[in-house]
Structure 1
Amino acid sequence: MNESIAEISETFQTYMVDMRRKMHANPELSFKEQATSQLVQEELKKLGIPFELAGDYGVVATIEGNSKQQMVALRADMDALPIRENNEHLAYCSKNLGVMHACGHDGHVAMLLGAAKVFQQIKSQMNGTVKLCFQQAEERGGGTADILKLLAPFPIKSAFAIHLWSEIESGKFSVQSGPRMAACDIFEILIQGLGCHGATPQRGIDPIVVASSIVMNTSHLISREIDPTHGTALTFGKLHSGDAGNVIPDKAVLAGTIRTTDKADQSHLQLALRRVVQNTADTYRAQAEIKISRGGGMLFNEARSSQRAEKTVTELFGADHLITHPSLMVSENFGDFLDVYPGLMALIGVQNESCGANFPHHHPSFNIDEAVLHKGAALHVGYALNCFLEII
């Protein structure tokens, strides 16, 4: 069965490349994926696959086999990033200035649409039902709640997703169990000072000094308050303040992320950051307000699901396609699915220098080796079929 799945999937390779390039040329930011969602809906209609909306632009489609007593949820994210693409040599380079598919989500959608075609061709042999979940707003930590609400009434036995990965050789698979991606908490700090002329700093409270001190004062938190064997990172990515070089402004804004792979570390760092921010502001007679919001949760691949994925890759392509890859400090809110259902996120390598696919995620020159798309579609299908076989 799985050998034929690989062969059937390969017949849809050109279709998946075409879908991926359409989306790549017309990327849309989180919570604005209207055209992308419409494209997905149109393709599902062509295939005769029923679907419903999850939130504004998310889509959950249902392919019913011979049983509705066991179901598998397969997920692809749809949104792009606020990055100006630097791939003018590509005929499908982004047409939306300042917006780019720099993380492979266009490929994720293309693979799940390809899988939909395969499922439709073999659904008379499926002893279960598949939910195809096209998620909006992953880059902003959104979209999962709407889909999980729609899945809740059904007997979902496993959740599965694929992330195309630029650090792995094209066509190789990483499906190992355990912690795979970090939790990400997003914070913003508003510092209120007192503006004045730059020539009379004693009359003001300089928020830039406060912001700079907060950055420096928090630098010890990872090295001195967290176990050095635990993966953690505290990063400031934004500091905005003032409009003129000779004026002390009245406020400053800092923003960044906390990334953790241990729940106790996550709680500790949130409290520690609040402590340092408040104490630093007090020292300089300023006021500070900090808001911390959840991005993606920790992503753990369940052991049995990982074994199932290893079996599927081996059946489809051979054991030599499997590799191990270190856990990542990036965040992905597919972990929200894995908090509810056993499952995993697989990584498929797309690094291939010969076709220019040798830049990291979120880089303006990011691209993927499209040759892997049919392999991703086959893995979606094969994983679901093996899941059905085990559950019976």
Structure 2
Amino acid sequence: MDEKTIKQLVMAQRDYVTSMRREFHEYPEISGKEVHTRSLLIRELTRMGVDYTLLEGTGLIAVIKGSRPGRQLLLRADIDALPVQEDRMNLKQEKQCISHIPGVCHACGHDAHMAVLLGTMQALVHVRHELAGNVICCFEEGEETNCGIATMMKALENYHVDECFALHVYNGLEAGKVNIVPGPRMAGTIGIGIYLHGKSGHGSRPDQAVSTIIPAAHIVTALNSAFMNQLNVEETVTLGLGILSAGTATNVIPDQAYIGGTARFFDSQEGEKALQIINTITEHIAAAFHCTVTYEDRHNISPKAVVNDPRVTARIRRGMVQFGGQDYLGDCGRWFASECYSAYLDRYPGALGLLGIRNDTLGSGAAHHNGKFDIDESALPLGVLAELSFIFGE
């Protein structure tokens, strides 16, 4: 595939990806409830004449079959929105479109992910006669809550996949740039969900009770100290405790306390080490205060860090330069948010690209998961270019 043809394919999708992004944006659905969203995807796939398989839940897998044997390549887009009330204004002006569903909006850019992948698929359909191998297109439900990843990975056991690629729009990178580099790109998550169990009692006689508040307080301070002193300072691991709850009355010592939060990491060994530190400190302090411990199901590492394969990354970058030019490649730091796309990279060699959407003039660039979040739609064709570079790049 030559540079001129690729550029023509990309530009031909500009209006389509914009219109689809707006349609998805106006009718968002939260994780695991993306029924209308999937109906829109089915409508478009049927119009394109692309075969698809519906998964249990709301996800689906579509396959574009090439005209001759070749690589089996996978592209992925997530499809869910967030339980966030959208602000009509972005950072500077009124948005081009807003959610029509109160309390729900695409405040992370999954509407753009779907639109870009549909644009890429439409382009591939036009040049199917030049496509070697197959392109497996995954539309994954529930990324925000990780409720769809197990179903998707189970379904993919029925497919052979050589390499995978996905995009995530990113407010930390200017529009007109895409960041595709090797190594860690998004953080893994340690879910922290700790229950301390003691013995309730009257506030006037703490000696007759087994307080859970005091060991909970010790655990919180000990975790902060341990993270500072026991983890490799060259491998960043963050600790974010968001909940410390116990008791409902001032004169009653509660028999249960809860500590909840997350830790984020990029190096898998440090992540495992951090989880062990959390458990060791929790269990030893609890025992010292005669309490017992149970953990929530979410108290584990999930998802893992997103780590790009060097070989796949280099191939996509060469394709970007070949088909679009060096100027489209941009630099940005690692993103501390987490992504269950790491499950794909744990199974297949692949990469995640960060697609810039920040435009200070337009007012796009608010934080993800924020009511003012908005994207510069001019960035969408660059996403199609990146995905086509993955498909046709050498």
Deviates more, 1:210-219 or 1:56-65: 210-219
After superposition, residues 275-286 of structure 1 pair within 5 angstroms as 275-286=280-291
Q: TM-score, normalised by structure 1?
A: 0.91
Q: 1:316 Cα shift?
A: 3.0
Tell me if the contact between 1:191 and 1:251 (Cα under 8 Å) persists in the aligned partners. Answer: yes
Q: Name the counterpart of 1:124.
A: 129
Q: Name the counterpart of 1:334.
A: 341
Alpha-carbon distance change, 364 to 243 in structure 1, aligned in 2, over 3 angstroms: farther
In structure 2, distance between residues paired with 1:84 and 1:208: 35
Unaligned runs of 5+ in 1: none
Alpha-carbon distance change, 204 to 26 in structure 1, aligned in 2, over 3 angstroms: farther
Picking from 171, 176, 179, the partner of 1:174 is 179
Tell me if the contact between 2:203 and 2:253 (Cα under 8 Å) persists in the aligned partners. Answer: yes
Q: Name the counterpart of 2:224.
A: 219
Alpha-carbon distance change, 248 to 97 in structure 1, aligned in 2, over 3 angstroms: farther
Deviates more, 1:130-139 or 1:29-38: 29-38
Deviates more, 1:175-184 or 1:234-243: 234-243
Alpha-carbon distance change, 323 to 90 in structure 1, aligned in 2, over 3 angstroms: closer
Counterpart of 2:316, as a letter, is A
Cα deviations by residue, 1:37-86 (Å, 9 ceiling, x for unpaired): 22211211111111002331111101111124421100011122233323
In structure 2, distance between residues paired with 1:246 and 1:91: 54
After superposition, residues 277-316 of structure 1 pair within 5 angstroms as 277-291=282-296, 292-316=299-323
Q: 1:91 Cα shift?
A: 6.1
1:23 and 2:24 matched:
yes
Tell me if the contact between 2:268 and 2:304 (Cα under 8 Å) persists in the aligned partners. Answer: no
Deviates more, 1:165-174 or 1:241-250: 241-250
Tell me if the contact between 1:173 and 1:346 (Cα under 8 Å) persists in the aligned partners. Answer: yes
In structure 1, distance between residues paired with 2:213 and 2:232: 31
Q: 1:306 Cα shift?
A: 1.1
Q: TM-score, normalised by structure 2?
A: 0.91
Q: Give % identity.
A: 30
What's the secondary structure of 1:293's corresponding residue? Answer: coil
Cα deviations by residue, 1:129-177 (Å, 9 ceiling, x for unpaired): 1111111122223433333333334442210001111000111111111
What's the secondary structure of 1:240's corresponding residue? Answer: strand
Picking from 250, 254, 270, the partner of 2:255 is 250
Tell me if the contact between 2:3 and 2:324 (Cα under 8 Å) persists in the aligned partners. Answer: no
In structure 2, distance between residues paired with 1:260 and 1:241: 28
Counterpart of 1:41, as a letter, is I
Cα deviations by residue, 1:366-387 (Å, 9 ceiling, x for unpaired): 111111111112221232122x
Picking from 372, 377, 384, the partner of 2:379 is 372
Q: Name the counterpart of 2:138.
A: 133
In structure 1, distance between residues paired with 2:70 and 2:329: 31
Counterpart of 1:19, as a letter, is M
Q: Name the counterpart of 1:353.
A: 360
Unaligned runs of 5+ in 2: none
Alpha-carbon distance change, 184 to 118 in structure 1, aligned in 2, over 3 angstroms: same
Q: 1:337 Cα shift?
A: 1.1
After superposition, residues 2-81 of structure 1 pair within 5 angstroms as 2-81=3-82
Picking from 173, 190, 203, the partner of 1:185 is 190
Cα deviations by residue, 1:238-277 (Å, 9 ceiling, x for unpaired): 2333444554433222211222222222222222111111
In structure 2, distance between residues paired with 1:206 and 1:171: 56
Deviates more, 1:210-219 or 1:281-290: 281-290
In structure 2, distance between residues paired with 1:368 and 1:17: 11
Q: Name the counterpart of 2:155.
A: 150
In structure 2, distance between residues paired with 1:252 and 1:12: 54
In structure 1, distance between residues paired with 2:182 and 2:16: 32
Tell me if the contact between 2:95 and 2:374 (Cα under 8 Å) persists in the aligned partners. Answer: no
Deviates more, 1:308-317 or 1:237-246: 237-246
Deviates more, 1:100-109 or 1:261-270: 261-270
What's the secondary structure of 1:140's corresponding residue? Answer: coil
In structure 1, distance between residues paired with 2:316 and 2:357: 19
Deviates more, 1:286-295 or 1:118-127: 286-295
In structure 2, distance between residues paired with 1:207 and 1:94: 44
Counterpart of 1:363, as a letter, is N
Tell me if the contact between 1:232 and 1:329 (Cα under 8 Å) persists in the aligned partners. Answer: no
In structure 2, distance between residues paired with 1:264 and 1:371: 40
Alpha-carbon distance change, 95 to 205 in structure 1, aligned in 2, over 3 angstroms: farther
Tell me if the contact between 2:193 and 2:260 (Cα under 8 Å) persists in the aligned partners. Answer: yes
Tell me if the contact between 1:306 and 1:343 (Cα under 8 Å) persists in the aligned partners. Answer: yes
Alpha-carbon distance change, 377 to 287 in structure 1, aligned in 2, over 3 angstroms: same
Q: Name the counterpart of 2:84.
A: 83
After superposition, residues 313-328 of structure 1 pair within 5 angstroms as 313-328=320-335
In structure 1, distance between residues paired with 2:96 and 2:179: 31
Q: Name the counterpart of 1:100.
A: 105
Tell me if the contact between 1:144 and 1:337 (Cα under 8 Å) persists in the aligned partners. Answer: no
RMSD: 2.2
Deviates more, 1:96-105 or 1:159-168: 96-105
Tell me if the contact between 1:24 and 1:94 (Cα under 8 Å) persists in the aligned partners. Answer: yes
Q: 1:280 Cα shift?
A: 2.1
Q: 1:297 Cα shift?
A: 1.4
